Amino acid sequence: SSGINAEYGKERWDRWDGRDGEPVDGALLFEHFYEGFMAPYFGCYHCKDIRRALATIDMDDDGLVDWNEFKVYLVWAGRQYPHVADAPELLDKAFRLGLIPAMLA
């Protein structure tokens, strides 16, 4: 289950990688990651919670969100919730039950 869902996440990811003339390099600007993935969970891009969430994902502290940094949460959600109905539900679990609690820790 988690492999298929991680692939879905990668397909969404690839639609954002390279936006606005940025290199296609497996890393998203914080703004693009917010627009592509986080907006449903956080009220505004410039809010304090967004910066904390992005810092939680940005494990190597390079100011970008790398695919492998985000994939950690997708794989975790797939292992914790192997019976999710579909890939969008897995993304929801990754955010609501993985990323958001991690940023509040």
- With residue 27 as reference, give the H or E element that holds it: strand 27-29
Q: How confident is the model at residue 85 (pLDDT cuts 50, 70, 90)?
A: confident
What is the length of the chain?
Answer: 105
Average pLDDT over residues 71-88: 90
pLDDT (tens digit per residue) in 8-58: 778 889 989 988 888 899 999 988 999 999 888 887 777 777 888 888 899
Q: Are 9 and 74 a contacting pair, CB within 8 Å?
A: yes
Q: Which pTM value belongs to this model?
A: 0.83
What is the structure's pLDDT at 1?
44
pLDDT greater than 90 at residue 62? yes
